[in-house]
Amino acid sequence: MAGAGLAAVTSAQVPGERPRQDTSVEVLNPRDRVPVSLIIDDSTCLVNLNRFAVPQFRAAYGGSRYHHDWRSWPHEIPDSFVRKFGEWCAENGVKGKYSVVPYPACVGRLDREVPGWTRREILDSIKLVQDLMMPDWDIHPEMVTHTRVIDLKTGHPYPEISLNYIENSRWSDNRSVDELASYLAYALRILKNVDLPCEGVTTPGGFGTRALPQLSQATLESCRDVFRAEIPHYFRHLYSAGDESVAPRVEYAAGLDSDDPRCAVSIIGCTGDWFGGWDCSHRGRLDDLISPDLSTGRMVDVINRGEPACMVCHWTGIYFHGQEHGFRVFQDVVGRLHQRFDNLSWMKLSEISRYWAAKELTRIERSGDEIKLFAPFACPAFTLRLSGGGEPRFNSKPLERRGGPRDLAAGTWTGSNDRVVCFDLPKGESVLTLG
């Protein structure tokens, strides 16, 4: 899982270019709703990652940590559970990010062989991810193995078993952009080989903690190189308490007026793993997410301030050795959220990233009742609030009036004194007129 970040650490990132935006025009959340998402770490195809990871972690720490009874844990998280989880999420509109560790705990590569399972079983598991998960979930590599560092020249783990050669510990410290980009690209190519496209990556544990500028730039370079991703994103930081913003951070923006605009987006989680833990060490903290009376909890706090509320969990804890405690906690969270709020929008991390890139990087110029937008990236359901004027028209086409903000969709507007308008923003120049 991605590690927690501190304000002083994340501020090391470089925003890059920012365009002028007329102060009389406010970019709202998509459809004036609050994005919510679920970030799932430590998932892959069939392999119960942490059953095989714990003995490697313990060896790296010289036996001083990770005294889990890992031999009693199941070898796999079956596809039947993936189907059960994915179908329930689809029925309830849930979206998010689902890691697929490409070479889980060094057991085997998904694009080659995974000892312990037949090739047909692995291919069927990959197909399930493609068909069931990918429509509503971004796929991320969580580095290559989530355990030992792979020597890119040989494709094998480095022989040294220490914290210096564990992905979620010290190996990434002070690495160059090129070194990290090559490592990320290696992971991405394994998933490309099995037709699992990615627009972003997830860092395991402490990966990148002491190389944050390099990590952001390496994400940008590797995702563009391997998958031609237009807006690469990564999950590294989370804030599970306090007032620190959890809004996405658009970094290293450049070339906004060129044919090749670029940026990386850092997605920030807003909770700890309160669904069971990576090692199934607790049965969840449902009320810390949202209380029984729906009035308090971390999700309530973040949603009320209008920032994307991205919950964080581990696949191993959702399955919970087949007891599914984490899954039940999540089902209860979703039920409470939908009971409490009518202004949520479940989104994939790539969708949130695209919206925030458009929100921060679109140049907005206003002259009276004419607003010109210069967008380096297209963005669906782009939503603005502006004062005064008559009937809105976007690129000469009238927008349809709706009764209130909960009715907003692309091509519509609402409001009386102020106008809240929603439209699909194309790349390049567009014109919004009032009256």
Question: In angstroms, rounded to a whole number, what is the distance separating the alpha carbons of residues 142 and 139?
Answer: 10
Q: Report CA torsion sign: 368, 360, 225, 101.
A: negative
Closest CA to 408 of 343, 337, 341, 334: 343
pLDDT band, very low/low/confident/very high, at 8 (cuts 50, 70, 90): very low
Whole-model pTM? 0.96
**Final residue belonging to a domain, choices 337, 354, 371:** 354
Each residue of 251-290: pLDDT tens digit? 999 999 999 999 999 999 999 999 999 999 999 999 999 9
Closest CA to 5 of 205, 144, 160, 187: 205
Question: In angstroms, rounded to a whole number, what is the distance separating the alpha carbons of residues 348 and 109?
Answer: 26
pLDDT at 202 over 80: yes
pLDDT band, very low/low/confident/very high, at 183 (cuts 50, 70, 90): very high
The answer to whether residue 1 sits within a structural domain is no
The answer to whether residue 14 sits within a structural domain is no
Domain shared by 191 and 290, yes or no: yes
Each residue of 287-314: pLDDT tens digit? 999 999 999 999 999 999 999 999 999 9
- What is the predicted pLDDT for the residue at 220? 98
Q: What is the mean pLDDT of residues 103-124?
A: 98
Give whole-number Cα distances, 175 to 150, 207, 321, in Å: 15, 11, 36
Domain shared by 299 and 279, yes or no: yes
**Final residue belonging to a domain, choices 354, 381, 415:** 354
Domain shared by 348 and 370, yes or no: no
Question: In angstroms, rounded to a whole number, what is the distance separating the alpha carbons of residues 335 and 271?
Answer: 17
Domain shared by 65 and 82, yes or no: yes
- What is the predicted pLDDT for the residue at 5? 44
Question: In angstroms, rounded to a whole number, what is the distance separating the alpha carbons of residues 405 and 413?
Answer: 8
DSSP 103: S
- What is the predicted pLDDT for the residue at 416? 83
Domain shared by 314 and 380, yes or no: no
Each residue of 300-351: pLDDT tens digit? 999 999 999 999 999 999 999 999 999 999 999 999 999 999 999 999 999 9
Domain shared by 114 and 223, yes or no: yes
Domain shared by 330 and 376, yes or no: no
- What is the predicted pLDDT for the residue at 201? 98
What is the SS3 string spanning 302-326? HHHCCCCEEEEEEHHHHHHHHCCHH
Domain shared by 318 and 397, yes or no: no
Question: In angstroms, rounded to a whole number, what is the distance separating the alpha carbons of residues 382 and 424?
Answer: 6
Domain shared by 157 and 274, yes or no: yes
**Mean of all residue pLDDT scores within the chain:** 96
Contact yes or no for 158/165 (Cβ under 8 A)? yes
Domain shared by 383 and 334, yes or no: no
Q: What is the mean pLDDT of residues 423-429?
A: 98
Question: In angstroms, rounded to a whole number, what is the distance separating the alpha carbons of residues 429 and 371?
Answer: 11
Report residue 178 CA to chain centroid gap: 23
**Final residue belonging to a domain, choices 354, 383, 418:** 354
Domain that holds residue 231: 34-354
Give whole-number Cα distances, 208 to 170, 183, 200, 404, in Å: 9, 12, 15, 44
DSSP 122: H
Each residue of 51-63: pLDDT tens digit? 999 999 999 999 9
The pair of three-digit structure tokens given for residue 91, joined into one six-digit string: 């029925």
pLDDT at 2 over 70: no
- What does residue 256 show for φ and ψ, rounded to 5 degrees? -65, -25
Domain shared by 67 and 125, yes or no: yes
Contact yes or no for 139/197 (Cβ under 8 A)? yes
CATH number of the domain that 286 lies in? 3.20.20.370
Structural domain count of the chain: 2
